[in-house]
């Protein structure tokens, strides 16, 4: 008979063993009972220790009896500690086993579902389908590239517009530079003449006098 059978009263091959949940519950109940027993023994040990101290000088016999009982209680307490450790180990092992059982059960269920989902799938058809999808994606990309590519007229028009814009920017920069030069440099202007210019009437009079002198000279030469 197994350890679990002896512990929980299983009877031979005909008897059905307890489930993991039932065994875990029984072990928890046992742990609770032993924990209460521990608390009771700890109180008894404290009581006997107090009795021994109280009768240490007055009643030596009573003090020795109290110490003897204290040692017995401590021995029982140590046994319970060992039992609790064993039960705790068993309970944790059962809990882990129960968890693993549920995990394996669910994994098996998922494996069956996956197998059922793949029953009607042909790997060759899947490969063909993926190849068709790849080809269609490449074709769609080529069409998109062709549509988005600018035509020749558009390129030439864009270049001409760029040249005009560049010329305007250069002219604006030149105008700005000239304005900066005009505002920063003071160009000296010529001084105003101090003497007044001869009038037109005076100039004409001088010409007439010169003509008269020339005529006078010509007459003098003819007289000779």
Residue 134 token pair: 């790849």
Distance CA 82, CA 99 (A): 26
> Residue holding tokens 């790997």?
123
Specify the pLDDT at position 3: 47
Specify the pLDDT at position 214: 67
| Biggest CA-to-CA distance, the chain | 196
Specify the pLDDT at position 12: 47
Query: 94: burial class by Cβ within 10 Å (0-12, 13-18, 19+)?
Result: buried
Specify the pLDDT at position 196: 54
Distance CA 170, CA 168 (A): 5
The fold of 3-123 is: Helix Hairpins (1.10.287)
Residue 199 token pair: 């009038």
Q: How many CB atoms lie within 10 A of CB 68?
A: 12
Nearest to 90 by CA among 144, 182, 162, 24: 24
Each residue of 72-108: pLDDT tens digit?
Answer: 999 999 999 999 999 999 999 999 988 998 899 999 9
The more confident residue out of 13 and 148 is 148
Each residue of 26-66: pLDDT tens digit?
Answer: 999 999 999 999 999 999 999 999 998 888 778 888 889 98
With 0.75 as the threshold, say if the pTM is over it.
no
Specify the pLDDT at position 165: 81
Each residue of 129-169: pLDDT tens digit?
Answer: 888 899 999 989 988 888 877 655 555 666 777 778 878 88
Which sequence spans correspond to the domains of the chain? 3-123, 132-181
Distance CA 131, CA 138 (A): 11
> Residue holding tokens 């007459």?
219
């Amino acid at each position: 008979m197994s350890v679990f059978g002896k512990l929980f009263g299983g009877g031979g091959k005909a008897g059905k063993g307890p489930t993991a949940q039932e065994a875990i519950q029984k072990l928890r109940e046992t742990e609770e009972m032993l924990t209460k027993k521990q608390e009771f023994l700890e109180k008894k040990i404290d009581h006997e220790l107090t009795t021994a101290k109280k009768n240490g000088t007055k009643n030596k016999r009573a003090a020795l009896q109290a110490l003897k009982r204290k040692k017995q209680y401590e021995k029982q307490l140590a046994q319970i500690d060992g039992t609790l450790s064993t039960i705790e180990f068993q309970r944790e092992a059962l809990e882990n086993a129960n968890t693993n059982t549920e995990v394996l059960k669910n994994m098996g269920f998922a494996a069956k579902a996956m197998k059922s989902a793949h029953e009607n799938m042909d790997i060759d058809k899947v490969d063909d389908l993926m190849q068709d999808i790849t080809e269609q994606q490449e074709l769609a990309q080529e069409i998109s590239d062709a549509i988005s590519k600018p035509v020749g007229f558009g390129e030439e028009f864009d270049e001409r517009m760029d040249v005009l814009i560049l010329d305007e920017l250069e002219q604006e920069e030149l105008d700005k530079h000239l304005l900066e030069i005009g505002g920063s440099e003071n160009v000296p202007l010529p001084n105003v003449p101090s003497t007044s210019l001869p009038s037109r009437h005076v100039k004409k009079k001088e010409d007439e006098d010169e003509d008269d002198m020339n005529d006078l000279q010509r007459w003098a030469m003819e007289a000779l």
